[in-house]
């Protein structure tokens, strides 16, 4: 194989920590996280950008790690589910709400759901339930835990309103 096809060395900044990795051009961020960095919290569902299980934050925005090449991310801040809780293990408010509301069944889509919801907080959590459903439609839950996911986001919204008042 020509040299241009070979692995490239780069620094991926994940959850505030710099990781030196060597990846071939076609390695996705999803595979780099799971297979090279051992961060298996980010899940592979469809691997085609349709299910949302692989959602992570890139520079604060929710994006799909299965459709992003790792080699294009030098200098970007990547946040995965492993990076949400505080150093002392305190859960992120979205994580705590998912636990309190039992917002999952098998749990496979949950990291993607939570990362998507955290991204949504930054975009502005909508007021109405319908708008929350719309904003979360990129995350498929095959168990159908949508009602409790919505309940968790309602809880987050109420907690934020209370904190603001």
Strand order of the β-sheet with 8-14 is 17-23, 8-14, 77-79, 55-58, 61-64
Of the candidate residues 83, 93, 111, 119, the single one contacting another protein (CB under 8 A): 119
Q: In the bound complex, what is the minimum distance in angstroms from residue 35's beta carbon to another protein?
A: 15
**Total of chain residues touching another protein, rule CB under 8 A:** 35
Is residue 65 a contact partner of residue 54, using CB atoms and an 8 Å limit? yes
Is residue 73 a contact partner of residue 33, using CB atoms and an 8 Å limit? no
Does the footprint of another protein cover residue 137 (CB under 8 A)?
Answer: yes
Residues 71-90, interacting with another protein (CB under 8 A): 71-72
**Strand, helix or coil for residue 124:** coil
Q: Considering only 83-91, 103-111, 119-127, 143-151, which stretch makes contact with another protein by CB under 8 A?
A: 119-127
Residues 12-41, interacting with another protein (CB under 8 A): 24-26, 28
């Amino acid at each position: 194989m020509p040299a241009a096809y070979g692995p490239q060395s780069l620094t991926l900044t994940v959850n505030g920590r710099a990781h030196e990795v060597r990846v071939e051009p076609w390695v996705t961020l999803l595979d780099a996280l799971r297979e090279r960095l051992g961060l298996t919290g980010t899940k592979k569902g469809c691997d085609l950008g349709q299910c949302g299980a692989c959602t992570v934050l890139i520079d604060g925005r929710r994006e799909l790690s299965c459709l992003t090449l790792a080699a294009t991310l030098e200098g970007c801040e990547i946040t995965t589910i492993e990076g949400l809780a505080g150093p002392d293990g305190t859960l992120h408010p979205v994580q705590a709400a998912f636990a309190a509301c039992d917002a999952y069944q098998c749990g496979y889509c949950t990291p993607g759901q939570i990362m998507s919801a955290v991204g949504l907080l930054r975009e502005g959590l909508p007021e109405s339930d319908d708008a929350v459903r719309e904003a979360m439609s990129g995350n498929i839950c095959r168990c159908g835990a949508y009602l409790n996911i919505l309940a968790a986001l309602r809880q987050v919204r109420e907690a934020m309103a209370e904190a603001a008042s």
